[in-house]
Structure 1
Amino acid sequence: MADYAEITYAVDERVATITLNRPEARNGYTIRMSDELGAAMDRADRDEDVRVVVLTGEGKDFCVGADLSQGGFDFDPARGPDPEWQEPAGRCAKRVYTMNKPVIAALRGAAVGGGITITLPCDYRLASTDSKFGFVFTRRGIYPEGASAWFLPRLVGMGTALDWMISGRVFTADEALEKGLVHSVHEPDEVLNKAYELAREIIATTSPVSVAVTRQLLYRMASAETPFPVHALDSKLIGGLGTSPDAIEGVMSFLQKRPPEFGMRVDKDLPPYLPWLSE
C-alpha cells in the first residue's frame, strides 16, 4: 500500500510523518483509514532509515471519531462479522502497540472516540490549547474500542478512566494534562514542531535497539503478576551487555563527552530470546 487515499506518509531526517488526511470530514475515521494506518505503521517499523513516527492530522482537528456516514463496518450487519473480524480502531491500536519505533501523536482540535483511542498506545501525546478529548461511546449507545479499556487505566488510573468512559463527557487539554493523558500542551501552530523537536532528540541521543526493547518491556511486562519474570528477562539483557556494540558506544561516548553513534539495527540485532518476537 504505497499509495494512500485517506492518509499521507512522508519521511524526512529519519522521521516518518503519518497524517490523517480527510480534513473535509474533520478526519473522520473509516475502515480504509484504519487499514492504511496499519500499513503505514508497518512500513515505518520495517524501514531502518526511520527512527521515530509522528502521527498527526491534516486541518484543525486530529480526528472526530468514526465517520458514521460511511457505515462503519466492512461486513453485512444483518449477518454479522466472521469470528476473526477485528474492529477498525483496534487494528491500528494493536499495530502501534507492537511497534519497535517510538510514536509521537501531535494532536490539535478534536480527538474524540476512535480519534483518541488509536493514540493511546503512542509513546507521547502532545496536545494543543484548542484540543478537546472524549471517550463518548456511552453517549452514542456503543462500546469502547481500540482496546482502550486496557490502555486508558494504565495511563491515567482506573478512577479517571471510569469517569471519562462512563460519563462520555468531552474534556479540555488542561484536564488531559493534569490526569496524564497528554505529556504537554502547546499553541495549535506549535504542536507539530514540538513533536519534531522531541523526535530529533530521541534520534540524536538514543540507541534504536535499546528503545525498541525498552518500549516493549514496559508494555509487555508491566502487567506481570510479580517482578520475578521481569527480573529474569532483565538479567539476560544485562548479562549480554559486555558484547553489545551499542552498550560499549554508549559508555565510551559518555566518558569522552561526545554524541553517541549507535550502530546496532532493529531488523537484525534484537536479542533473539525476547518472548514477544514470535508475534
Structure 2
Amino acid sequence: MTDFKTLDLTMDGGLAVATFNRPEAMNTFNPAMIADLLALFDLTDADDGVRAVILTGSGRAFCAGADLSGGEDTFDYDKRGQTEDIGGPDRDGGGMVTLRIFRSLKPVLAASNGAAVGIGATMQLAMDWRVAATDSRYGFVFARRGVTPEACSGWFLPRLVGVPKALDWTYSGRVFGAEEALAAGLVQSLHAPGALLDAAKDKALEMTASSAPVSVALARQLMWQGMTMAHPMDMHRVDSRVFAARGRGNDVREGIAAFREKREASYPDTVSAAMPLMDWAAEPDFR
C-alpha cells in the first residue's frame, strides 16, 4: 500500500475510498497532495479488486483550494522553486491531477462535504458522478485571487454546466451553495452530511456491481474521449474496434450465458490483463 501523506485510503467491497486528511488546513491543496493523487490513481488502475474510486474530505471541507500558507508567492512557481514538483516549468499541478483522473480506468465519484473551492472544485470536473452534502459550498474563485481557472476547467466546466453558467461562476469568483450546484448539473444529488458517503458508495456499486470491469473501463474512455472528437465518424471508427475486441473476449460469453440462465454473471476478464491498448490520438491499435 502506498504511504500517502495527505490521504487516508480504505477498501470497502471493491470501492477505494480516499479521504483527504488535512482537516486542520481544510484539506488545502499542496505538492504532497499532487503526488498522492497521482499515486492513488496509478494504484487503483492496477488493482483489479477496485471497481470504483470515491474521493471525500475530512472535517469541514472536501478541499478548500490551494494552500495559501506561502503568502503572495503561492502561485509564483519561480519564486517558490516548485517547477520540479509540478512536472516542469509552468505546468499546473492541478491540471496534472485532473488529467490523471480523466485517464482513470475505474469510475471516479466525489462525495463533496463542506467547502470545495478552487482546485477542490475543478478536480471534481473529470469525475463521473458528484454527490454533495446539503451544506456544501463551491467556488471557482480564481479571479478573486488574481489568477485564472486551472486544472483544465476551461475544457470541462462549460461542457458540464454550459458556457453562460461557467462564465458567471469564473468571472465573479463567488462562492455558491449546493442547491445552485445541483440545479446547474455540477452535482447529481444532495444528501444530509451524515448520509453523504453511504450515498456515494451506493451509487458506485449501482454503476459497477453487475457490469464487466473491462467494459466499464472502456465505456469510461469512450464517453470522455468522445468529447474530444470532431465528428461522429471519429467515434464510429473507435467504438467499432472496441466493440469487436470485446466481442472476441471471454466476458461476452459469460454475460450472455448468465442472461440466458437467469443468474448473476461472473466476468473472467480483468482490466490489468484484458484492457486493449488504445491510442486516442490516432486510430486505436488493439493487440
Aligned-pair distance for 1:242?
Answer: 3.7
C-alpha distance in 1, partners of 2:270/2:21? 31
Name the CA distance, whole Å, in 2 between partners of 1:246 and 1:58. 38
1:77 aligned residue (76, 79, 96): 79
Question: Which residue of structure 2 aligns with residue 8 of structure 1?
Answer: 8
What is the Cα deviation at residue 132 of structure 1?
Answer: 0.5
**Does the 8 A contact of 2:113 with 2:193 survive in 1?**
yes
Asked if the contact 1:65–1:112 (Cα under 8 Å) also holds between the matched residues in 2, the reply is yes
Per the alignment, residue 39 of structure 2 pairs with 39
Pair 1:166 & 2:171 matched: yes
Counterparts of 1:38 and 1:166, CA distance in 2: 29
1:94-243 matched pairs, under 5 angstroms = 94-243=99-248
Distance 1:111 1:227 in 2: 35
Letter of the 1:50 partner, please give it: V
Alignment root-mean-square deviation, CA: 2.2
Give how far 1:200 is off. Answer: 2.2
Unaligned runs of 5+ in 2: none
Instruction: Check conservation: 1:56, 1:105, Cα contact below 8 A.
Output: yes
How many residues in Structure 1 have an aligned counterpart in Structure 2? 278
173-182 or 7-16, larger mean C-alpha shift: 7-16
Residue deviations 1:116-136 (CA, integer Å, cap 9, x gap): 111111111100100110101
**Equivalent AA in structure 2 for residue 63 of structure 1:** C
Q: 1:69 to 1:226 in 2, by over 3 A?
A: same
Q: 1:96 to 1:30 in 2, by over 3 A?
A: same
- Deviation, 1:85, is 4.6
Q: CA deviation at 1:107?
A: 0.5
Secondary structure of the residue aligned to 1:163 is helix
Q: Which moved more, 1:122-131 or 1:230-239?
A: 230-239
Indicate how the Cα distance of structure 1 residues 22 and 226 shifts in structure 2: closer, same or farther if over 3 A, else same: same
Distance 1:52 1:80 in 2: 32
Say whether the 8 Å CA contact 2:142–2:149 is kept in structure 1. Answer: yes
Q: TM-score, normalization: structure 1?
A: 0.92
Query: Residue 74 and residue 98 in structure 1: after superposition, are their counterparts in 2 closer, same or farther (change >3 A)?
Result: farther
Q: How many angstroms does 1:144 deviate by? A: 0.8
Query: Separation in 1 of the partners of 2:221 and 2:33?
Result: 25
User: Could you tell me the percent identity over the aligned residues?
Assistant: 43
Q: Please state whether the residue corresponding to 1:133 is helix, strand or coil.
A: strand
Greater Cα offset, 220-229 or 77-86: 77-86
Partner of 1:58: 58
Letter in 1 for 2:52: V
> Which residue among 254, 257, 261 is the counterpart of 1:252?
257
**1:65 Cα offset (Å):** 0.4
Q: Which moved more, 1:38-47 or 1:196-205?
A: 196-205
Instruction: Name the SS for the 2:2 alignment partner.
Output: coil
Tell me, in whole angstroms, the C-alpha distance in 2 between the residues paired with 1:196 and 1:175: 23
Shift of 1:52: 0.8
CA deviation map 1:3-35 (0-9, x unaligned): 122211222321111111100111111111111
State the alpha-carbon separation in 1 of the partners of residues 46 and 76 from structure 2.
27
Q: Is the alpha carbon distance of 1:73 and 1:6 closer, same or farther for their aligned partners in structure 2, counting shifts above 3 Å?
A: farther
SS at match of 1:236: helix
Q: Deviations over 1:104-154 (max 9, x none)?
A: 110111101011111111111100100110101111111111111111111
TM-score with structure 2 setting the length: 0.90
Query: 8 Å contact 2:222–2:239 — kept in the other structure?
Result: no
CA distance 1:36–1:194, change in 2 (3 Å): same
Quote the Cα distance in structure 1 between the aligned partners of 2:153 and 2:246.
36
